[in-house]
């Protein structure tokens, strides 16, 4: 009922990172592309099957050194229901390999509709008397603009099924300040959102001091990361923007507590496309991803005491 399972894995692997599986068909090495195109032609199905194989091989290469994966739903929806099937299969496979799975879908709605999103991504769906786990992730990113009505349905499932959520707070993009930095009685909106995360999570605090309700805070805003770490003692941070978007390990360190906990840092493209950057044989794409994940762990751990 908290994020303890994630935190325990981070401690076990001494690695506070999450690998972002945000794949495009163009990212898949040419030899794999060819294999699936020759089977199903230039179709969404072929692309989706190729991406699943790519994900599987990445998961195999990462699962003993990286505690978690984060699937960005947009990249699966882009391939229609075939892509969504690949999302389902990837989640299942990553869990099978022992990884903690975050679906980054930034879902938001109210009441019965938010219940449906909760059932889809973290819960179960009943058909007659038979129950199914449609996606079955461990945690989901959500957008809190609609207030408590949009969060309550998730909290019930977090408690009942030991799941977590990460609420968008201060995002990593250049224009995140347009709304998130607006001052209300002298306090920025993102701090208000953070305070709500503390409130929403209050009765789900686990053994490491963090609740089931985390917050998304970008690596590109190190001052706000540090400020929010102090302000939100029970709210774990999911930190996007490391590497590609310009957030460095030193700046990110402020998002961690003095035990080296309280944050998990995402890297997507740098890991997925490490084989291109490294210039190695494309058949070794998963090996290159592993080397980049190790480099990232060492980079982060040189600033964080874990």
- Cα–Cα–Cα angle for 201, 66, 4, nearest 5°? 25
Contact predicate 107/139, CB 8 Å:
no
| Distance from C-alpha of 189 to C-alpha of 200, rounded to nearest angstrom | 16
Question: Smaller CB distance to its own copies: residue 171 or 267?
Answer: 171
Is 106 in the active site? Answer: yes
Measured from the CB atom, the residue of 10 and 193 that comes closer to its own copies is 193
**Minimum distance, C-beta of residue 206 to its own copies, in the bound complex (Å):** 25
> CA-CA distance, 222 to 56, in Å (whole number)?
33
- Which lies closer to its own copies via its Cβ, residue 175 or residue 207? 175
Backbone angles phi, psi at 170, to 5 degrees: -120, 105
Residue ranges that bind its own copies, judged by CB under 8 A: 22, 24-25, 37, 42-44, 46-47, 72, 74-75, 77-85, 87-88, 106-111, 113-114, 116-117, 119-121, 125, 127-130, 132, 134-135, 143-150, 168, 171-180, 182-184, 189, 192-193, 196
Q: Which of 143, 154, 75, 147 minimizes the C-alpha distance to 106?
A: 143
Tokens standing for residue 132: 């199914």
2 or 33: CB nearest its own copies: 33
Give the nearer residue to its own copies in terms of CB position, either 107 or 229: 107
Shortest CB 161 distance to its own copies, Å: 15
Chain-centre distance of CA 69, in angstroms?
6
Task: Give Cα 268 to chain centroid, integer Å.
Answer: 10
Q: Tokens at residue 213, please?
A: 């309700």
Query: At its nearest, how many Å lie between its own copies and the CB of residue 104?
Result: 8
Please give the Cα distance from 242 to 196 (Å, whole number).
25
Q: Choose between 193 and 228: whose C-beta lies nearer to its own copies.
A: 193
CA 242 remoteness from chain centre:
13
Q: How far is the CB of 263 from its own copies (least distance, A)?
A: 20
Which of these is catalytic: 106, 230, 277, 305? 106
Three state DSSP letters for 135-181: CCCCEEEECCCCCHHHCHHHHHHHHHHCCEEEEEEECCCHHHHHHHC
Q: How far is the CB of 122 from its own copies (least distance, A)?
A: 11
CB of 257 to its own copies, least distance (A): 26
Return the structure tokens found at 36. Answer: 């699936």
Residues carrying an active site annotation: 106
């Amino acid at each position: 009922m908290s994020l303890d399972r994630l935190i325990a894995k981070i401690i076990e692997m001494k690695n506070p990172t999450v690998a972002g599986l945000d794949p495009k068909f163009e990212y898949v090495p040419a030899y794999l592309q060819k294999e699936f195109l020759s089977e199903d032609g230039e179709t969404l199905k072929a692309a989706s099957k190729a991406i699943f194989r790519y994900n599987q091989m990445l998961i195999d290469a990462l699962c003993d050194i990286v505690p978690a994966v984060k699937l960005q739903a947009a990249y699966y929806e882009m391939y229609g229901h075939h892509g969504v099937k690949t999302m389902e299969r990837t989640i299942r496979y990553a869990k099978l390999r022992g990884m903690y799975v975050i679906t980054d879908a930034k879902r938001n709605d109210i009441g019965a509709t938010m219940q449906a999103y909760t059932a889809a991504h973290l819960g179960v769906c009943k058909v007659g008397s038979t129950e199914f786990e449609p996606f079955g992730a461990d945690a989901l990113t959500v957008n809190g603009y609609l207030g408590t009505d949009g969060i309550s349905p998730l909290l019930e499932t977090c408690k009942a099924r030991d799941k977590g959520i990460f609420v968008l707070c201060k995002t990593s993009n250049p224009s995140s300040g347009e709304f998130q930095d607006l001052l209300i009685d002298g306090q920025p909106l993102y701090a208000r959102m953070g305070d709500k995360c503390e409130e929403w999570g209050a009765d789900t605090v686990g053994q490491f001091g963090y609740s089931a309700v985390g917050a998304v805070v970008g690596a590109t805003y190190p001052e706000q990361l540090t400020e929010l770490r102090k302000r939100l003692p029970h709210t774990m941070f999911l930190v996007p923007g490391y590497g590609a978007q310009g957030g460095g390990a030193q700046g990110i360190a402020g998002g961690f507590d003095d035990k080296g906990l309280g944050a998990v840092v995402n890297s997507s493209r740098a890991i997925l496309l490490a084989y291109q950057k490294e210039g190695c044989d494309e058949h070794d794409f998963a090996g290159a991803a592993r080397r980049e994940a190790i480099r990232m762990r060492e980079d982060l751990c040189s600033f964080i005491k874990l």
